[in-house]
A and B are shown apart, each in its own frame.
Chain A
Amino acid sequence: DAKTTQPNSMESNEEEPVHLPCNHSTISGTDYIHWYRQLPSQGPEYVIHGLTSNVNNRMASLAIAEDRKSSTLILHRATLRDAAVYYCILRDARNTPLVFGKGTRLSVIA
């Protein structure tokens, strides 16, 4: 899987929007962009994924750059429960297993 680069940590105020960036300059045409998050002492949780177009679901939005070399996970209103490590992962269409990088540790301040 192609490599992704994320900031080590970010901080947000409660009820503010959060934009979590991810760079993936070596992405291939068949790589999907996946986002997962891991709350403390739990297994990862699926957040969202996309290929080319922006995606929205009840948890978040995914904005994908036109050249697909970067993407941004958007949490529209951060809550204390959103404090977690967020992983941006590329996975090809062959459904290979997810390979986790270091992710971004998001802290939410009340």
Chain B
Amino acid sequence: GAVVSQHPSRVICKSGTSVKIECRSLDFQATTMFWYRQFPKQSLMLMATSNEGSKATYEQGVEKDKFLINHASLTLSTLTVTSAHPEDSSFYICSARTQTGQNQPQHFGDGTRLSIL
């Protein structure tokens, strides 16, 4: 089945640091990738949608200057949390989908647990 790899799986860093998270589709071309955030005991919240080669579309309330998304190739998208603060501590999950076929499943990475001290 389709595999999405996310790296790193865990990050602990000081307040003010910028953190980059990578999301790769290993065996398929992901024309669309999604980034979600999940706080403890809550559900996943969609942050943004990115299509390869174009600017990401952010959900309401998500700061695009705070969460920089790059989707430069069909197999790689990155999320950079700039100047991270303790309130940015969360579980970040990427997801990818091919465009072929109607209503194809979304494939998810295993998430990145970000802890800001």
Q: What residues make up the interface of A, taking CB atoms closer than 8 Å to B?
A: 32, 34, 38, 41-46, 49, 87, 91, 93, 95, 97-103
Chain A, residue nearest B111 (CB): A43
Count of A-B contacts judged by CB separation below 8 Å = 54
Are A95 and B44 closer than 8 Å at their CB atoms? no
Q: What residues make up the interface of B, taking CB atoms closer than 8 Å to A?
A: 4, 6, 32, 34, 36, 43-46, 49, 93-95, 97, 99, 102-111, 113
- Which of B44, B102, B111 makes the CB contact (< 8 A) with A100? B44
Are A95 and B104 closer than 8 Å at their CB atoms? yes
Q: Is the interface of A mostly helix, strand, loop or mixed?
A: loop
Are A34 and B105 closer than 8 Å at their CB atoms? yes
B residues near A38, Cβ cutoff 8 Å: 44
Chain B: minimal CB distance from A97 (Å): 5
Q: A42 to B110, alpha carbons, bound, how many Å?
A: 5
- Which of B4, B43, B111 makes the CB contact (< 8 A) with A41? B111
B residues near A97, Cβ cutoff 8 Å: 34, 46, 49, 95, 106
Closest 9 A/B residue pairs (Cβ): A43-B108, A46-B105, A100-B44, A100-B43, A43-B93, A32-B103, A44-B108, A43-B111, A97-B34
Q: A95 to B97, alpha carbons, bound, how many Å?
A: 9
B residues near A43, Cβ cutoff 8 Å: 4, 6, 93-95, 108-111
Are B43 and A102 closer than 8 Å at their CB atoms? yes
Are A93 and B110 closer than 8 Å at their CB atoms? no
Are A42 and B111 closer than 8 Å at their CB atoms? yes
